[in-house]
Amino acid sequence: MTNEPEWVPPEGSWASSAARRRNMQAIRSRDTKPEQLIRRLVHAKGLRYRVAARPLPDLRRTADMVFRPVKVAVFVDGCYWHGCPEHYVPPKTNSGYWSEKVLRNVTRDRDTDQRLTEAGWLVLRFWEHEPSGACASQIADAVLARRAR
C-alpha cells in the first residue's frame, strides 16, 4: 500500500477514473481478433495485402487491409467505436464525451469512404460481429474481380 493520493481526473478529462483510463488505453486500435481472423482467411485464399496502411499517402487515415494494385481498402470496425446500429450502447459515465467521440468517428469514416471512392478505391467495411468467413469471401471476390478488369 502506498501513501500516494487517489488519482483524480482533471476538469474536462475524458477519463472518469484512473481504472477507466487504463482500461480505455489498453484497447487495441489495430490487430484486433476479428481483423486477425479475417486476414488469416484472406491470406489462405492466396491474396496478399498491406496491414494498417494508408491507402492514400496524403490522407492521414489507415485501412486495416490495403490491396494497393487493385485499389481496395478494407476496414473492420468495432461495434462500440464506430457506432454499430445493432450493438452500440451509449456509455453510462462521461456519456457526453464518449457519444461525441463515436459520432466524430462515424463522421470521419464517411469522409474517408468518400475520399477513397473519389480517388478510385473500393471501400469495404465490416463490423467486428460479422462472420469472418463471409467477410473474407467478400474481400477475395472484390479483389479478384478488380484484378480481372
pLDDT attached to residue 27: 60
Distance CA 139, CA 72 (A): 9
- In tens, the pLDDT along 3-21 reads 554 544 455 555 556 665 6
The distance from CA 32 to its chain's CA centroid, rounded to whole angstroms, is: 9
pLDDT attached to residue 107: 98
pLDDT attached to residue 16: 57
Distance CA 91, CA 99 (A): 7
Q: CB-side exposure of 126: number of CA atoms within 13 Å?
A: 23
What backbone torsions phi and psi does residue 81 show, to the nearest 5 degrees?
A: -70, -20
pLDDT attached to residue 97: 87
- In tens, the pLDDT along 64-80 reads 999 999 999 999 999 99
- In tens, the pLDDT along 32-43 reads 999 999 999 999
Containing H/E element for 39? Answer: helix 33-44
pLDDT attached to residue 18: 67
Statement: residue 25 has pLDDT above 80:
no
pLDDT attached to residue 31: 84
User: Crossing angle of helices 132-148/33-44, nearest 10°?
Assistant: 50
- Could you give all domains of the chain from N- to C-terminal order, each with its CATH number? 28-148 (3.40.960.10)
Query: Longest Cα pair distance anywhere in the chain, in angstroms?
Result: 68
- In tens, the pLDDT along 92-130 reads 888 888 899 999 999 999 999 999 999 999 999 999 999
State if pTM tops 0.75: yes
